Amino acid sequence: MVPVLLRKQRNVAYRMGDTGTALVMNLEPVFTIVMAVFLFGEAFGATQWLGAALVVLAIVGVTLAGRKA
């Protein structure tokens, strides 16, 4: 099962290109925090949520800057 998922992930990353893949991979920590809160009931403070918001804002900023260039 794992080799199949890794192959699919590689194919999707290839189609997205370098920039798209980098942007999605930078969202992994944010997805991890959200899943930990909803699936495991973990408690996160304001600092963790601020960090997640900064990551998302940085990705949005890079994406918008790339469209203007």
pLDDT in tens, 25-56: 878 888 888 889 899 999 989 998 898 899 88
Nearest-angstrom CA–CA distance, 47 and 27 = 17
CB 21 within 8 A of CB 49: no
- Residue 23, pLDDT > 60, answer yes
Q: Is 27 helix (H, G, I), strand (E, B) or coil?
A: coil
Per-residue tokens: 31: 């997805």
Tokens of 17: 């290109």
**Residue whose pair of structure tokens reads 């973990």 in the numeric block:** 42
User: How many domains in the chain?
Assistant: 1
- pTM for this prediction: 0.61
* Range of the structural domain that residue 12 is part of: 2-68
CB atoms within 10 A of CB 59: 16
The pLDDT value recorded for residue 68 is 67
